[in-house]
Amino acid sequence: MKKFSILLMFVALVTSATAQMTQEEKEAFKFADKLIKKMTLREKFGQLEQFITRRGVVTGPGGVKCDIESAVRKGEVGSFLSIRDRNEALRLQKMAVEESRLGIPLIFGYDIIHGCKIIFPENLAMSCSWNIDAIERSARIAAEESAATAIHWTFSPMCDISVDPRWSRVSEGAGEDPYLGAKIAAAMVRGYQGNDLSATNTIAACIKHFAAYGAAQAGKDYNTVDMSELMFRNLYLPPYRAAVDAGAVTVMSSFNDFMGVPASGSKWLLYDLLRKELGFRGFVVSDWNAVHEMIIHGVAADGKDAAELALKAHLNMDMLGGDYIAYGEQLVKEGRISEKLVNELVREVLAVKYRLGLFEDPYKYGKQDLSEVYYRPENMQFARKVAAESMVLLKNDGVLPLQKGVKIALIGPFADAPKDQLGAWRGLGDEKRSITFRTALEERFGKENVLYTKACECGRYKNGLIEGGVEEAVKIAEQSDVVLLSIGLSGWHSGESRSRADITVPADQQELLDALKKTGKKIVVLLSTGRAMDIRNEVEKADAVLLTWHGGTMAGPAVADLVSGDENPSGHLTMSFPYYVGQIPVHYNSKNTGRPAKSQFKAQGYSASYVDIQNAPLFPFGYGLSYTEFEYSDLKVLTPTVELGGVVKVSVKVTNKGKVAGDDVAQLYVHDVVAETTRPVRELKGFERLSLKAGESKIVEFEIPTSELAYCHTDLSWKADKGDFDVWVGADSYAPLKGKFTIK
């Protein structure tokens, strides 16, 4: 890594305009430095330790068991995670502030990743809205509800790019594209933190999982990550970088080893890259027990060794492992780490607490009337809109929207599943507040017009067809005009540690589909999932497929809005849906190779392709249908040649050719024709959500600074090339409308 470090310093000089330290930050560090002078070494390590409470006992998988109260009173805990109850948080805070020697307040962290009380669609789903302002607002609502609960800090945004839907944590991210991922990461940081971290409606954000956690080999959670540094910098780093630039005050180190070193012990990642190059000045927390797990990774002999590695890598806070508090003092006394380093790590933690206003008033986040903050009606309506914008219409032969007065057979494990619709990491979401598809459809179409049966179980504990379920499903289908079949994967199948090798719809649910197909009724599949799936079978057999994801508290009303035609589907995929699992990784921004396939849609040999299936995914990145039809025409490159450092301008005409109003996402892609390194066949470099009335046209103008066309060269410099570029604009990553420009 030494070689990298030297190069990094060079890169840092040429690429990173590290933001100047603000007055507020300077003040926070000044305060921290003064306080550190009064602290004992043990108290310092206390600030670097994070614990969880479970029935009165502090535990971590690292084996630390101690009495919470005495640990807090002795100043040996800096933070707690996952405290769900405000009274418990305030009780612990009071203990820390009033009973420990220096009265340093605790910081409480929790995974509030797509909503706190009101649960928004899972993050991958929300990214399909391409609505950056809405995503920012969803984060602000989550912050308001968290802050009122005395949760000062969220472990979000997850900035991990992933091209592997076998990995269940794709549900927590923004999909496969670094450009869109960066915009979303920055928006979420702005949403959580606002302009004033000390305000009682903002909380600290945490960029995770640093780094490249989403590239786990074979899609297995926690698995090894290895790739070239060029690939890392081009495809994986941009969202983390954008979140740092947006001012996120904390970062989480990932579980995985990266280029041979576990991230939590990688000085190259956590210090050279994150701090020196990206200019991060907040604090780094490890992932759950990740410091201690370096023993199992095989780079540390014991907990003491692991603590030494992590401290030297500049990892500030140990989540749950307990090795910092257990061995920190000894490490200093034995000269294995310096107290100067400990002071630096502590000051960064204290500075964030200071910026949150916790020293000024440690109870400030627990004062609001919760009934006024939780589940505000306007926020619930907003969640409904976001859910509708996140859902993606994948197929429609005309059955949607449903006619008024139609009789519906609503069938499947997720049609009335208040918990599943909240997905993974449900924050403090209350499933009793979920409005299910069944409730919302009964309200919209009349109870007498919606016949319901579950027919099949799918989840953590129960799976398979319910006895008599298929017969009942067929019976109600025969009594109805249309079948809405809610199938796919449950909320439990999303999030951490649910990797799957088979990403098709479970076989029993396919059996149900087959039985219903025989009735000859029109079938609309409502696909529940937190990941991209292989749904060839469902697409072939159903008349329409609406990807409903795990749509959150208001998923039901959103589905009713869409199937009734009150809202027009406008979501576009941010992760390719594979044609077959064996294609993975399949993503739109792949390379050409010297022998590209002649057709993406035919099996063939002697090229980068398969002899048994097509190259193209079933649905590409950017794809999504509407009840109307949008036409893209008149692509104009307004700046056919542009100076390096200038701005490329492209315009396109978009026309709504259908009979109803609708929203579309116009997407701009480029390709660097002759570059220093091989470049993706297409890269997203601009997008705009637009609303068009029936028959209306609009000219969309894109402005792309040439700096956005920069990439990592073999000497690790970040710059754009002079020369020719292709450009396409359209409604997905296969957009045919093409132009050219040249950078001089």
What is the closest distance, in whole angstroms, from the C-beta atom of residue 63 to ligand BGC in the complex? 17
> 713 exposed, middle or buried (CB, 10 Å; 0-12, 13-18, 19+)?
middle
End-to-end CA distance of the chain: 36
Residue 210, interface with ligand BGC (CB under 6 A)? no
What is the closest distance, in whole angstroms, from the C-beta atom of residue 287 to ligand BGC in the complex? 5
What is the closest distance, in whole angstroms, from the C-beta atom of residue 486 to ligand BGC in the complex? 28
Local structure of residue 675 (DSSP, 8 states) = -
Say if residues 41 and 329 touch (Cβ distance below 8 Å). yes
Which residue of 152, 208, 498, 572 would you call a contact of ligand BGC, by CB under 6 A?
208
Q: How far is CA 276 from CA 6, 110, 340, 689, in A?
A: 11, 28, 18, 36
**Cβ proximity to ligand BGC, 63 vs 103, nearer residue:** 63
- Which residue matches tokens 């000497």? 715
CB half-sphere exposure, 422, CA atoms < 13 A: 21
**Cβ proximity to ligand BGC, 289 vs 548, nearer residue:** 289
Cα–Cα distance between 356 and 173 in angstroms, integer? 26
Q: What is the DSSP string of 376-411?
A: -HHHHHHHHHHHHHH-EEEEESS-PSPPTT--EEEE
**Cβ proximity to ligand BGC, 209 vs 682, nearer residue:** 209
Give the x/- contact pattern for ligand BGC in 482-521, rule: CB under 6 A.
--------------x-------------------------
Which residue of 76, 111, 664, 672 would you call a contact of ligand BGC, by CB under 6 A?
111
**Cβ proximity to ligand BGC, 185 vs 470, nearer residue:** 185
**Cβ proximity to ligand BGC, 155 vs 365, nearer residue:** 155
Give the x/- contact pattern for ligand BGC in 153-192, rule: CB under 6 A.
--x-------------------------------------
What is the closest distance, in whole angstroms, from the C-beta atom of residue 103 to ligand BGC in the complex? 27
**Cβ proximity to ligand BGC, 69 vs 496, nearer residue:** 496
Size of the site for ligand BGC (CB under 6 A): 7
What is the closest distance, in whole angstroms, from the C-beta atom of residue 208 to ligand BGC in the complex? 6
Residues 71-100 that bind ligand BGC (CB under 6 A): 81
User: Helices then strands (H, E): number in the chain?
Assistant: 22, 30
Helical axes 555-563 vs 437-445, angle rounded to 10°: 40
Which residue of 144, 245, 287, 567 would you call a contact of ligand BGC, by CB under 6 A?
287
Residues 288-327 that bind ligand BGC (CB under 6 A): 288
**Cβ proximity to ligand BGC, 131 vs 253, nearer residue:** 253
Closest CA to 299 of 312, 280, 281, 284: 312
What is the closest distance, in whole angstroms, from the C-beta atom of residue 252 to ligand BGC in the complex? 6
Cα–Cα distance between 552 and 603 in angstroms, integer? 39
What is the closest distance, in whole angstroms, from the C-beta atom of residue 433 to ligand BGC in the complex? 22
Say if residues 97 and 362 touch (Cβ distance below 8 Å). yes
Q: Which two tokens stand for residue 30?
A: 């000044």
Give the rounded distance of the alpha carbon of 470 from its chain centre.
36
What is the closest distance, in whole angstroms, from the C-beta atom of residue 151 to ligand BGC in the complex? 12
Give the x/- contact pattern for ligand BGC in 445-484, rule: CB under 6 A.
----------------------------------------
**Cβ proximity to ligand BGC, 155 vs 271, nearer residue:** 155
Is 287 annotated as catalytic? yes
Give the count of beta carbons closer than 10 Å to the beta carbon of residue 587. 23
- The H-assigned helical ranges of 446-535 are 469-478, 507-517
Q: What is the DSSP string of 141-153?
A: HHHHHHHHTT--E
Q: Which residues have a Cβ under 8 Å from the Cβ of 145 and sit 6 or more positions away?
A: 112, 115, 116, 117, 118, 373, 374, 428
What is the closest distance, in whole angstroms, from the C-beta atom of residue 171 to ligand BGC in the complex? 12
Q: Which of 160, 164, 257, 287 is catalytic?
A: 287
**Cβ proximity to ligand BGC, 81 vs 189, nearer residue:** 81
Q: Which two tokens stand for residue 449?
A: 């017009």
Chain position whose Cβ is nearest to ligand BGC: 155
Pairing of strands 544-547, 392-396: antiparallel
Cα–Cα distance between 379 and 373 in angstroms, integer? 10
- Kindly provide the residue ranges of all beta strands, DSSP E only, lying in 489-638, ordered along the sequence: 522-528, 544-547, 630-637
Pairing of strands 482-488, 522-528: parallel
**Residues in contact with ligand BGC by the rule CB under 6 A:** 81, 111, 155, 208, 287-288, 496
- Which residues are marked as active site? 287
